[in-house]
Amino acid sequence: MELTSEIGWNFKNSYARLPRRFFAEQHPTPVQLPKLIILNKRLAESLGLNAERLESEEGTAVFAGNKLPEGAFPLAQAYAGHQFGHFTMLGDGRAVLIGEQITPTDDRFDIQLKGAGRTPYSRGGDGRAGLGPMLREYIISESMHALGIPTTRSLAVVTTGEPIYRETELPGAILTRVASSHLRVGTFEFAAQWGKEGQLQALADYAIDRHFPDISEEYNKYFLFFRHVVERQAKLIAKWQLIGFIHGVMNTDNMTISGETIDYGPCAFMDEYDPETVFSSIDRQGRYAYGNQPGIGQWNLARFAESLLPLFHKKQEKAVEMAKEVLSYYAEVYDRHLLTGMRAKLGLFHAKEQDEALIRNLLVIMEKNRADYTNTFKALTFELFDEMDLFKTREFQEWQKQWKARLNEQKQSKAEVKQLMKNNNPAVIPRNHRVEAALEAAVEKEDYSVMERLLEVLSNPYAHTFEQEAYSTVPPPSHYPYRTFCGT
């Protein structure tokens, strides 16, 4: 299956040197009639790949799993996870990591085929994916990247020429996902539960060398490793909250060590501001609602800490004490980054004691008036106070006076304040109805132009161009709540 080309693949597969308990060698299952649907040319070039050659039959064959580049070492990773609070054995049930690409700048990225067929971890599933969910991940992940949020990326989507069966027959597809790594909290839970002696430490050493090499020689490197992961996750979830993003399935197997957002299944962006917003069809109790995400992040990291306790200190009591110290640090980092981000959204350059109350009061008014989250901050940026009913309320007008007084305490000019707000309040997000329209056109009509236009508009969300205006409108009222699905 191997082939050599001028595409630019440059694989060096470090994960495959870990103990075999952490993965299973697994070739992708070939498909009948692969067709390239979309290619991320800019991402390809940053990886050192020839985008033109990737559009060839040879490139399509790689994205479909029909051929492997020279140097590939295909494998499915083993991991565990707490899914909705319940611990279980998991693993890559429909994904194959074909290799780790070394870029011209000497960075390392996993290249994974999602929907590439059954693996030893499929648990009875078919190992395949539908076109709609794969295009959805492409749209959302690339939008997140454009919004400045750490995320896995999408390199390509191909159709397989084969149907898959969920509630109905659907066209099959494979997504090529790019990540700093696919190491998860669940990977460490797996090592702690089922790893043999020394294997947890081997995994931690590998993660440190890959993501935090600066601490690899420190005597307390495992404690520092935990602290770094906690800090990255706190920053990440603060960014989610600032943009109104709801992940939908924050299980521990969906929390990366790198601090990247991963697995865009039942995710969506909030329209009306409501901390209880849930989109996932399987989250019936609201465990992963928007307002719960910061707390769930800390809960997941507590499970990570439990896995690492033997590496913190020989005495469990001391190890637990060390873990609790860092878990408290999570709240500090999260609060700091959320407040800093919210200040920027309101044009505030420096911290003052009253800012937290000012922010909280605005959110209370927004929730009470069912105000659109993104458009409220955009309207504040451009002082479009005639566009929303929210701005006509007495509560908001009183709040506005306090905000204006706070802005007047700054030395920055009005133009500088506006620019800060423009840089932190996007003109557009991937609105749920826009995403659904793009997916419907693609899946039902094989019309990809709707998606292509949407991706173009979302590629620079802070540009605030005229073309983006039509994509900022909220969806029409509906009697039915919007629901998303995981695609498996």
The catalytic site residues sit at 253
Tokens linked to 177:
């996902």
Q: Which of 58, 18, 8, 60 is nearest to 36 (CA)?
A: 60
Q: Which of 284, 278, 237 is nearest to 260 (CA)?
A: 237
**Count of CB atoms within 10 A of residue 353's CB?**
6
Q: If you search the block for the tokens 């998991």, which residue do you land on?
A: 90
Q: What is the DSSP string of 366-390?
A: HHHTT-BHHHHHHHHHHT-TTS-GG
From residue 21, alpha-carbon distances to 25, 183, 202, 210, 430 in Å are: 11, 14, 12, 19, 39
Please, what is the end-to-end C-alpha distance for the chain in angstroms? Answer: 28
**Cβ atoms 67, 3 nearer than 8 A:** yes
User: How far, in Å, CA of 339 to CA of 351, rounded?
Assistant: 9
User: How far, in Å, CA of 72 to CA of 359, rounded?
Assistant: 50
Tokens linked to 386:
């005639």
Interstrand relation of 153-165 and 35-39 (parallel, antiparallel or unpaired): antiparallel
The amino acid that residue 119 corresponds to is: T
**Cβ atoms 135, 149 nearer than 8 A:** no
β strands within 44-168, DSSP E: 68-69, 75-77, 80-83, 86-89, 95-102, 108-114, 129-130, 153-165
The amino acid that residue 101 corresponds to is: Q
Cα-only R_g, the chain = 23
Q: Which of 26, 121, 116 is nearest to 63 (CA)?
A: 116
Q: If you search the block for the tokens 């004691």, which residue do you land on?
A: 353
What is the total residue count of the chain?
A: 488
